[in-house]
Amino acid sequence: MLDRQTFTGPWAGLPVAWSEDDTFDEETFRADVARCCEAGIPGVYSGGTSGEFYAMELAEFQRIAKCLIDTCHQHDRPAMVGCTATYTRGAMQRVEMAAQMGADAIQVALPFWLQVGEEQVVPFFRDIARAAGDLPVSIYETTRAKKALTLAQHKAIKDAVPGYVMVKANEGTIGSTAEGCEALSAFVNVFVSEHRWAQLGPLGAAGGCSALVYWNPRMTLELWEHMRQGRWDALAAMAPRLTALNDFLSAQFAPRGFTDTAYDRMGGRASGFLKTSLRNRAPYPSATLEDVERLQSWYEEHFPEMLQL
């Protein structure tokens, strides 16, 4: 079972491959999961924002989760399933399904359509833990849920849910700050983006829910080895380049309304590692082959290592 010692590293948060008729392309998705496992990525998950949990029916969720879990286990790698929903019972149904199918961990964010009240935060995660049984629980903390948890709330969740092992800390949440990361790391693993590893690694950050790792697994796993060995200068030297990449993507594609999954499909295809479709589900815009070529051109000029798998 995953614990604080083993639930670390850059976990690949994969997008789901969709066919031209907007149905699940199991063959391509299974091959992408296998490719991540074979590259030595510590774990694979789907059902986060890149995995479009918000844009699939329950039967699709079940089929995709089973494909993910089975493929990871065939390659002796752990699988985490994102189970976020807009209401408690919906999330619990997904958690129960993932547990029954053999997931190694589950991830869930607070329900996000209506803001969850202060008094409902801990009971929500207690209900999730009851559905998860013995599975480790990861919190996907994002301001998209309309609430940033306090340190006291994280501690209260940990007291109520001993299986709370990891938090994916996004910008605007306590784990993405130096003080917050250090405080949270006393009782839970904090995952942050790779460009923050140099700053937050010395304060306890333990990995990331990553797209970069399937944009270029060789380079990202090298960064992870620096992290494990405490080579903060090496990480600091790479951080400005990762920030420049983020700035380029934001400037070029944010005005077109790209969401996480559009960026991550484009990045995985630009390096040549993923074979997933560029198509993501409407109404959110998808990347195009021309966008992939634009990113490849930027890599050639500014970041050629990204093209060297």
Domain ranges of the chain: 9-229
Tokens encoding 46? 């789907």
Nearest to 168 by CA among 95, 266, 84: 84
Q: In this structure, what DSSP letter does residue 7 have?
A: S
Report the C-alpha gap between 247 and 260 in whole angstroms: 14
Concatenating the DSSP letter of every residue in 237-270 gives HHHHHHHHHHHHHHHHHGGGT--HHHHHHHHHHH
Is the CATH code 3.20.20.70 the one for domain 9-229?
yes
Tokens encoding 274? 């993923």
Nearest to 131 by CA among 176, 163, 170: 163
**Residue 283: its pLDDT value, please?**
98
For every one of its 309 residues, what pLDDT tens digit does the chain have, with 9 covering 90 and above?
Answer: 899 999 999 999 999 999 999 999 999 999 999 999 999 999 999 999 999 999 999 999 999 999 999 999 999 999 999 999 999 999 999 999 999 999 999 999 999 999 999 999 999 999 999 999 999 999 999 999 999 999 999 999 999 999 999 999 999 999 999 999 999 999 999 999 999 999 999 999 999 999 999 999 999 999 999 999 999 999 999 999 999 999 999 999 999 999 999 999 999 999 999 999 999 999 999 999 999 999 999 999 999 999 988
Specify whether the CB–CB gap between 111 and 85 falls below 8 A. Answer: yes
Report the C-alpha gap between 262 and 151 in whole angstroms: 32
**Residue 1: its pLDDT value, please?**
86
CA angle 260, 87, 26 (to 5 degrees): 50
Specify whether the CB–CB gap between 10 and 42 falls below 8 A. Answer: yes
Residue with tokens 């065939």: 74
**Residue 309: its pLDDT value, please?**
87
